[in-house]
Amino acid sequence: MTTAPAPYRELTITRIFDAPRELVFKVWTEPKHLKQWWGPKIFTIPICEVDLRVGGVLRIVMHSPEWGTAPMKGIFREITAPERLVFTNIAVDENGNTLLEGLTTVTFADHGDKTKLTVHTTARGVASIAVQMLAGMDQGWAETIDKLETYLAGL
């Protein structure tokens, strides 16, 4: 008997923002900013903690009336301000059990007086609900980046 491979997704999103690279990097790395735009449009962020150092922890708890609480945690693997962030991203249930494991790389590049942002993320499911979570990954990230664009426009 063979075991089915764990579900897996990979996604790259590139967007140009009408904001300087230093500002875009800042809103990715400071909790007061992350709380305003992180996650799909139906989610709020009641908890956001960032220990911005290699080996430091990223902890975000998303909440929506429809989906309830969706915690995630990660570890910063690389920080090159204001050019690049690399962090693990692990979706967990409310008891801390891992649902998805992933790695996200965010690059920030000057594009004239704007910023070219590229997000590359991978995720592998480790629980049965992961199939459903992975199916919504493209839409979730697209909505997240849309929220980031709206937030940056208001700064």
Calpha distance 54→75 (Å, rounded): 8
Structure tokens at 110: 């000057």
| Confidence grade of residue 4 (pLDDT, cut at 50, 70, 90) | low
Say if CB 103 and CB 90 are below 8 A apart.
no
Q: Render the burial of 56-91: b for 16+ CB within 10 Å, e for the rest.
A: eebebbbbeeeeeebbbbbebeebeebeebbbbbbb
Contact call for residues 24 and 152 (beta carbons, < 8 A): yes
Reported for 68-73, long-range contacts at CB under 8 A and 24+ positions apart, including other chains, are 69/94, 70/39, 70/43, 71/47
Are 147 and 44 a contacting pair, CB within 8 Å?
Answer: no
pLDDT for 62 equals 96
Domain topology for 9-153? Alpha-D-Glucose-1,6-Bisphosphate; Chain A, domain 4 (3.30.530)
How far, in Å, CA of 21 to CA of 41, rounded?
24
Residue pLDDT, tens place only, 70-117: 999 999 999 999 999 999 999 998 888 999 999 999 999 999 999 999
Q: What is the pLDDT of residues 126-141, one digit of tens each?
A: 888 888 888 889 999 9
Q: Tell me the pLDDT tens digit for each residue of 22-77.
A: 999 999 999 999 999 999 999 999 999 999 999 999 999 999 999 899 999 999 99
**Tokens (6 digits) for 70:** 């969706």
Alpha-carbon separation of residue 5 from 10, 125, 126 (angstroms): 15, 10, 10
